[in-house]
Chains A and B, each alone.
Chain A
Amino acid sequence: MTALVPHIRAMSFQRLAQSAFGRWLARYNEDRFAAVCLSVTAGFLVIALAGPFFALHKPGDLAAIELADSMLAPLSKSAIGDVRYVLGTDVLGRDILSMAIFGLRTSLGVAFAATGGALAIGCVAGLAAAHAQGAAAAAIMRTVDIFLSAPSILFALLFISILGRGAENTVLAILLVQWTHYARAMNAAATAELKKDYVAAARLQGFSATDILFRQVLPNCIPPISVILAVQFGFVIALEASLSFLGLGLPITQPSLGGLVADGQEYLMGGAYWISILPGSILLLLVFCMNVVGDRLRVLQSPLSARGGTC
């Protein structure tokens, strides 16, 4: 039957469906709700990447702002007479949708940078601790314990107050509280893997310790780490939003979702709900979907969910 299928199709769809990723995706999609959440998350990523094409104006572009259009409710008529502000405008006449798109870009950008850094540092620290044992390992893992002993927002606030405000410092502060999660998970996974015979076999074959850690052990620790990653990513977005809401995150010139919520909160009582609530809802939806995706990954990861196991 495969012979009848046009070559091109055989190359693309069938290959994809039969590849390991395709099979994994099919299993993932058995949970319809998680599949929807995955698409929503992917949609947000696309909007963030292609954001400037959708936005009416840039955040700091004063020339594009019509003061006459300030405080417009969603879907109401602008001064020119058309419905150009789908989500309304704020007190300065800035388009909420444009601000939200740029806010999404900033939030995701900060989250990616912080998570990427935390992942790299955490994995290396966790692997090193698993390999070293003894005092060095204790030093690393007790530091991790200290960080995990209090809510991460406290440590983030501490770092921001030391480092000062700004995009880079926000990334750094989040990174400094986040690496511990990866270090802990990596340490647990690597400690278990290091006891397995294939590691002993690799030692006997003469591979160096670095080779064994990064080429033999690390790839086998990816599944548990990827679950932590999916769960923590949503958390990082929320953490950045919290910092910005408190006015400690990004400066006002760089709108982030949390900052937008904070901007609009003084107008909430006046009935201008959209300035705060709409960016807030986007934030909520994004974090919610990411958590559902993370949860689904964790279910797929647990050995009990594996089908066709030995019996």
Chain B
Amino acid sequence: MLKIHDLNLSFENGQSSAHILKDFNLTVTAGEIVALVGESGAGKSTVGAAIGGRLPPGGKIMSGSITFNGERLDSFSPTQFERIRGAEIGSIFQNPLSALNPFETAGRQLIETLIIRGGVARRSARERAITLLRRVGFDDPEIILPRYPHELSGGMLQRVVVAIALSCDPSLIIADEPTTALDVSLRNGIIELLRDAAEASQIGVLLITHDVSVVQAAAHRVCILHKGEVIETGATSDVLANPRHPYARRLISSVPPPTGKLKRLQNPPLSTLQPNSLRLDRNDSRAATGVVLQDVSVRYAGKRNIFLKQTTDLYALKNVNLSAAPGRILGIVGSSGSGKTTVARLIAGLADPTAGRITFTHAVEDKSGGSANAPTVDEAVASPTDAPLVQMIFQNPFASLNPRYSVFRQLIDAPKKVAGMSRADAEDQAVTLIEAVGLARNDLDKYPHAFSGGQLQRISIARALSMNPSLLICDEPTSALDVTIQAYIVDMLKDLNDAFGVTIVFITHDLSVCRHLCDDVVVLNRGEVCETGSTLDVLDAPKHRFTQRLVLNSNVCQRIDDRKAQAIKGAGSPNAGGTDDGELLSRIQSA
């Protein structure tokens, strides 16, 4: 049905041109889901754009052909694309909120599409829209129709987008990172919808993603793209079980295994952090710092509205008790909005608790026993602002470095001004650090805009290390990054902890990363701690209902083929907003 043969595509921008796709071959037949995987910049989205006639300015097909149902798309004019787009080729985008018009109701957008693209009569369009919404898992579509996009959750919006894509019975759907912007619990629902569409309506799906677990759950065939070239292609199970190309092997091994615990994700190690590669001048009394939160709450007081009615207080955190033992890695997991980031900012001293106490603790060498596993804790009163012993790595690498200063300046300024280091020492340290995080010495003179997200995150780590921290807080440091880069950074953090005993508080929503990296784990739900303990204990035998749900959701991708997973389809009922996972859990368990 869709056949791309020896496609060469390049981007021209003034004088320079970049060869984006090299001899690219791909076929999608009816009823088949083909996944296109690769890291950012591999050219995945360009393939989708070329098929849909949405190439950005400068993009040019140099040679090769794109054949769709017997027609040559590569020589299509914009008006010809207009004809098949929507009607024969449906699209699903990464961000459903920007794919829908914010000024029109969901129902109107769906109905208009049906009338204009699908040629459905105005009278029957509403009927048809309701059927479609029911098909994508809304139990009560009448409620959805009059809603504006901002009134619906991300998962619901993505369902509406799927409904619009399906509305005109297309023979091909291009799904460009359809689950990336969604919570894990919603991810499975969308994948199931795509599988359903492919099997029931014999629609071909081109699934563009960077997430290997999505591929595993959804795709019949997979095509791995690396720097514009297909390096491996074949049936999903074959390729994932037995990758031949080195990059494919690295990509697949970067995904932490669902069970068990590895020493490192990538072998051989890519990072070069060794105990002697850094000359961090470590003061013994600061060898490791832990932190204890006692009954900590953060409350946002309700405001009086214009009728002087007091709105209720909002708790970001409620009586949270947790502790990170010196020298260990504490994972904090929870879904979005559970207060994970608030905990991070509290520990870092960037926010103040409304109630409760935060204390820093130091490990004291037990002279008689010398046991490293159970350090006696000496409580010390220390504020993180006295001496910068706490450093933090942020989620968005693009905002966490000052765009105006060179990397060099960002690495030497604080050690010089705050820690009182001499210029020569600070410069030596900057060189050591930048090499330790796997970048080159001449990267020091560049500015942040010259780097990719993964590189920026490594620079952030270098900057944090330049202050010789004894406690490092990582707030979802890898969620914006490709899996291969994620593996690199996770390995690096592990090395840091091994080599220097730096205490790490690692915040994540990804249980498999947590399982791999963290010694202990705290599960947060709606601002309250619901489970805490050693990582393997908690994740292998969750006691709290919420933890059980989290674990189920993170594993469900692996066993979506099971009949059990059929129950997921109804998970996005409108009143629950697709988030009431308790219902999901009971359905899965009863099945």
A204 partner residues in chain B, CB cutoff 8 A: 348-350, 384, 388, 390-392, 467
Majority secondary structure of chain A interface residues (helix, strand, loop or mixed): helix
Are B400 and A197 touching (Cβ within 8 A)? yes
Interface string of B328-362 (1 = CB under 8 A from A): 00000000000000000100111000000000000
B424 to chain A, nearest CB (A): 20
B398-421 residues with Cβ-Cβ distance < 8 A to A are 399-405, 413-414, 417-419
A241 to chain B, nearest CB (A): 37
Known: A197-B394, A197-B396, A308-B13. A205 touches B388 (CB 8 A): yes
Interface string of B462-476 (1 = CB under 8 A from A): 011001000000000
Query: What CA separation (Å) do A219 and B419 show in the bound complex?
Result: 23
A33: Cβ under 8 A from any B Cβ: no
A202 partner residues in chain B, CB cutoff 8 A: 402, 414
With most chain B CB atoms within 10 A of its CB, the pick from A196, A201, A203 is A201
With most chain B CB atoms within 10 A of its CB, the pick from A196, A203, A205, A311 is A205
Are B404 and A203 touching (Cβ within 8 A)? no
Size of interface on B: residues with Cβ below 8 Å to A: 33
Are A205 and B418 touching (Cβ within 8 A)? yes
Query: What CA separation (Å) do A163 and B483 show in the bound complex?
Result: 67
Query: What CA separation (Å) do A207 and B401 show in the bound complex?
Result: 15
B79 partner residues in chain A, CB cutoff 8 A: none
Known: A200-B350, A220-B403, A311-B56. A206 touches B385 (CB 8 A): yes
A211: Cβ under 8 A from any B Cβ: yes
B281 to chain A, nearest CB (A): 16
B400 partner residues in chain A, CB cutoff 8 A: 196-198, 201
Query: What CA separation (Å) do A219 and B467 show in the bound complex?
Result: 23
B387: Cβ under 8 A from any A Cβ: yes
Are B401 and A198 touching (Cβ within 8 A)? yes
A16 to chain B, nearest CB (A): 18
A311 partner residues in chain B, CB cutoff 8 A: 45, 56
Nearest-CB residue, chain A, relative to B394: A197
Are B399 and A219 touching (Cβ within 8 A)? no
B460: Cβ under 8 A from any A Cβ: yes
Query: What CA separation (Å) do A311 and B45 show in the bound complex?
Result: 9
Nearest-CB residue, chain A, relative to B40: A310
Query: What CA separation (Å) do A308 and B14 show in the bound complex?
Result: 10
Are B394 and A200 touching (Cβ within 8 A)? yes
B348 partner residues in chain A, CB cutoff 8 A: 200, 204
B364-397 residues with Cβ-Cβ distance < 8 A to A are 384-385, 387-388, 390-392, 394-396
Nearest-CB residue, chain B, relative to A220: B404
Query: What CA separation (Å) do A207 and B416 show in the bound complex?
Result: 11
Query: What CA separation (Å) do A205 and B392 show in the bound complex?
Result: 9
Query: What CA separation (Å) do A201 and B387 show in the bound complex?
Result: 14
B49-86 residues with Cβ-Cβ distance < 8 A to A are 56
A206-227 residues with Cβ-Cβ distance < 8 A to B are 206-207, 211, 216, 219-220
Nearest-CB residue, chain B, relative to A211: B417
Interface string of A170-203 (1 = CB under 8 A from B): 0000000000000000000000000011101111
A201 partner residues in chain B, CB cutoff 8 A: 391-392, 394, 400-401, 460, 463-464
Are A196 and B350 touching (Cβ within 8 A)? no
A197 partner residues in chain B, CB cutoff 8 A: 394-396, 399-400
Interface string of A264-290 (1 = CB under 8 A from B): 000000000000000000000000000
Are B13 and A200 touching (Cβ within 8 A)? no
Query: What CA separation (Å) do A87 and B201 show in the bound complex?
Result: 83
Known: A200-B348, A200-B350, A200-B394. A205 touches B414 (CB 8 A): yes
Query: What CA separation (Å) do A201 and B391 show in the bound complex?
Result: 8
B507 to chain A, nearest CB (A): 14
Nearest-CB residue, chain A, relative to B350: A200
Query: What CA separation (Å) do A265 and B405 show in the bound complex?
Result: 54
B388 partner residues in chain A, CB cutoff 8 A: 204-206
Query: What CA separation (Å) do A204 and B387 show in the bound complex?
Result: 9
A227-281 residues with Cβ-Cβ distance < 8 A to B are none
Interface string of A298-311 (1 = CB under 8 A from B): 00000000011001
Query: What CA separation (Å) do A14 and B487 show in the bound complex?
Result: 42
A219 to chain B, nearest CB (A): 4
A216 partner residues in chain B, CB cutoff 8 A: 402
**Which of A196, A200, A205 contacts B467 (CB under 8 A)?**
A205
B25-56 residues with Cβ-Cβ distance < 8 A to A are 45, 56
B525-574 residues with Cβ-Cβ distance < 8 A to A are none
Are A207 and B418 touching (Cβ within 8 A)? yes
B414 partner residues in chain A, CB cutoff 8 A: 202, 205-207
A283 to chain B, nearest CB (A): 37
Query: What CA separation (Å) do A200 and B350 show in the bound complex?
Result: 7
Nearest-CB residue, chain A, relative to B447: A20
Are B404 and A196 touching (Cβ within 8 A)? no
Query: What CA separation (Å) do A17 and B401 show in the bound complex?
Result: 27
Are B350 and A206 touching (Cβ within 8 A)? no
Query: What CA separation (Å) do A216 and B405 show in the bound complex?
Result: 9
Nearest-CB residue, chain A, relative to B393: A201
B387 partner residues in chain A, CB cutoff 8 A: 206
B467 partner residues in chain A, CB cutoff 8 A: 204-206
A200 partner residues in chain B, CB cutoff 8 A: 345, 348, 350, 392, 394
Query: What CA separation (Å) do A200 and B399 show in the bound complex?
Result: 10
Nearest-CB residue, chain A, relative to B387: A206
B404 partner residues in chain A, CB cutoff 8 A: 219-220
B418 partner residues in chain A, CB cutoff 8 A: 205-207
**Which of B350, B394, B419 contacts A203 (CB under 8 A)?**
B350
B230-256 residues with Cβ-Cβ distance < 8 A to A are none
A191 to chain B, nearest CB (A): 15
Are A196 and B399 touching (Cβ within 8 A)? yes
B346 to chain A, nearest CB (A): 13
B405 partner residues in chain A, CB cutoff 8 A: 219
A206 partner residues in chain B, CB cutoff 8 A: 385, 387-388, 414, 418-419, 467
Nearest-CB residue, chain B, relative to A216: B402
Interface string of B139-168 (1 = CB under 8 A from A): 000000000000000000000000000000
With most chain B CB atoms within 10 A of its CB, the pick from A200, A219, A220 is A200
Nearest-CB residue, chain A, relative to B403: A220
Are A207 and B417 touching (Cβ within 8 A)? yes
Nearest-CB residue, chain A, relative to B469: A204
Nearest-CB residue, chain B, relative to A215: B413
B59 to chain A, nearest CB (A): 9
Query: What CA separation (Å) do A207 and B463 show in the bound complex?
Result: 14
Query: What CA separation (Å) do A196 and B345 show in the bound complex?
Result: 13
B299-331 residues with Cβ-Cβ distance < 8 A to A are none
Query: What CA separation (Å) do A311 and B401 show in the bound complex?
Result: 22
B45 partner residues in chain A, CB cutoff 8 A: 311
Query: What CA separation (Å) do A141 and B528 show in the bound complex?
Result: 38
B417 partner residues in chain A, CB cutoff 8 A: 207, 211
Query: What CA separation (Å) do A261 and B28 show in the bound complex?
Result: 76
Query: What CA separation (Å) do A197 and B387 show in the bound complex?
Result: 20
Nearest-CB residue, chain B, relative to A217: B402
B452 to chain A, nearest CB (A): 11
B362 to chain A, nearest CB (A): 19
A307 to chain B, nearest CB (A): 8
Nearest-CB residue, chain A, relative to B384: A204
A28 to chain B, nearest CB (A): 16
B460 partner residues in chain A, CB cutoff 8 A: 201
A246 to chain B, nearest CB (A): 43
Closest 6 CB pairs of A and B: A205-B414, A206-B418, A197-B394, A197-B400, A219-B404, A206-B388
List 26 A-B pairs, Cβ < 8 Å. A196-B400, A197-B395, A197-B396, A197-B399, A197-B400, A198-B399, A200-B350, A201-B394, A201-B464, A202-B414, A203-B385, A204-B348, A204-B350, A204-B384, A205-B413, A205-B414, A206-B387, A206-B419, A207-B414, A216-B402, A219-B402, A219-B405, A220-B402, A220-B403, A308-B13, A311-B45
Q: Which A residues fall within an 8 A CB radius of B?
A: 196-198, 200-207, 211, 216, 219-220, 307-308, 311
A sample of 8 more A-B contacts (CB under 8 A), given A197-B395, A201-B464, A204-B388, is: A200-B348, A200-B392, A204-B348, A204-B391, A204-B467, A206-B414, A311-B45, A311-B56
